Amino acid sequence: MKKHNFNAGPSILPQIAIENTAKAVLDLNGIGLSLLEISHRSKDFQAVIDEAVALFKELLNIPEGYQVIFLGGGASLQFCMVPFNMMGKKSAYLETGVWAKKAAKEAKYFGEAVTVASSSDKNFNYIPVGYTVPEDADYFHITTNNTIYGTEIRTDYDCKVPLIADMSSDILSRPVDISKYALIYGGAQKNLGPAGVTFVIVREDLLGKVERPIPTMLDYRTHIKEGSMFNTPPCLPIFTVKETLKWIKSLGGVEAIEKMNIEKADLLYNAIDSSKMFVGTAEKESRSLMNICFVMKDEYKDKEDAFMEFAKNRGMIGIKGHRSVGGFRASTYNALPMESVQALVDCMMDFEKDNA
């Protein structure tokens, strides 16, 4: 039976990226050695990282003056590195979920971190609007996609202070005007590759402005200077990132990917909205294209476990909602085919037909 992978992360990857990584684990480009056992300073791995950076810059049209680096530690380490490198005395945060709250918490170790708005009053089911970002803030931080609650910021904000974004779960799902951002970061394990590598896109001229000393490993300038190789980088995940970027390019780039993502999301949201049994949890104007969250209507709540079992028997993997929200979550990342979304819709309709 075919499996349909809706896991929220680590999540589905392009099959070609998985296959090419598996080949490289056995023998990298015919050199007779595994990707896992070569030196990161060899010309063979240097070619891997160079290609990954070049593809990143090409696919996102990254302007001159920005650097792309690969680090460890996940987005969670960036919650600390961002204020360490970018915050003098004050920063501003938009609170749209758990990860946004965690990022703001780390910033408070370095000074004043102002929450300009929050959607916690409705369990983060919408993106706040109509707030003011203090102009004396060193930066304004947003989390563009909220995996737990199924909301997403799909526009590039105009901001009078440097804009920083955690794009862990929606990077390369749509075109982005990089010039509007001071820094973008994210863990790879959604749209880019396996867990273990973190990407950072940073405007280099904004670094080195804080007065505090920064430990060597936590200074972005260290990793820019050393080409992401100050210490041994996560070689295998970077290789898979490179293969995933090649796959995105082969499909026509992020513009083509965005079109596919809209079509997938429309199919599932339309099924939810027309259902007698299911209902979406995020406000419509804030809905994510990456994580589609829904629950049973009140009169059918007692059938949630039965639907989970029914869906599992139809090959649906990873659709259980986060424990803080409940219900169901279908993560429709770049590599998820339309076939899988249609299979989930068919599964929902068949269950409803027999149970509503």
Peptide bond into 215 cis (omega under 30): no
Task: Tell me whether residue 249 is one of the annotated catalytic residues.
Answer: no
Contact call for residues 182 and 162 (beta carbons, < 8 A): yes
- Beta-ladder partners of 333: none
Say how far apart CA 237 and CA 171 lie, in whole Å. Answer: 16
Amino acid at 268: L
How far lies 2's CA from each of 101, 109, 343, in Å? 38, 48, 10
Task: Tell me whether residue 346 is one of the annotated catalytic residues.
Answer: no
| Pairing relationship of beta strands 183-187 and 163-166 according to DSSP bridges | parallel
Q: Considering 138, 190, 242, 320, which one is annotated as catalytic?
A: 190
- CA of residue 38 relative to chain centroid, distance: 29
Listed in sequence order, the residues at least 6 apart from 121 whose beta carbon sits closer than 8 Å to its beta carbon are none
Contact call for residues 234 and 197 (beta carbons, < 8 A): yes
Contact call for residues 138 and 161 (beta carbons, < 8 A): yes
How far lies 210's CA from each of 38, 86, 115, 120, 331, in Å? 38, 7, 21, 32, 38
Q: Considering 138, 166, 170, 219, which one is annotated as catalytic?
A: 166
Which residues in 64-87 are b (16+ Cβ under 10 Å) and which e? eebbbbbbebbbebbbbbbbbbbb
Alpha-helical (H) ranges within 60-138 are 74-86, 98-107
Task: Tell me whether residue 166 is one of the annotated catalytic residues.
Answer: yes
Amino acid at 78: Q
Q: Which of 183, 172, 178, 120 is nearest to 151 (CA)?
A: 120
Listed in sequence order, the residues at least 6 apart from 235 whose beta carbon sits closer than 8 Å to its beta carbon are 35, 36, 38, 40, 45, 48
Residues known to be catalytic: 99, 166, 190
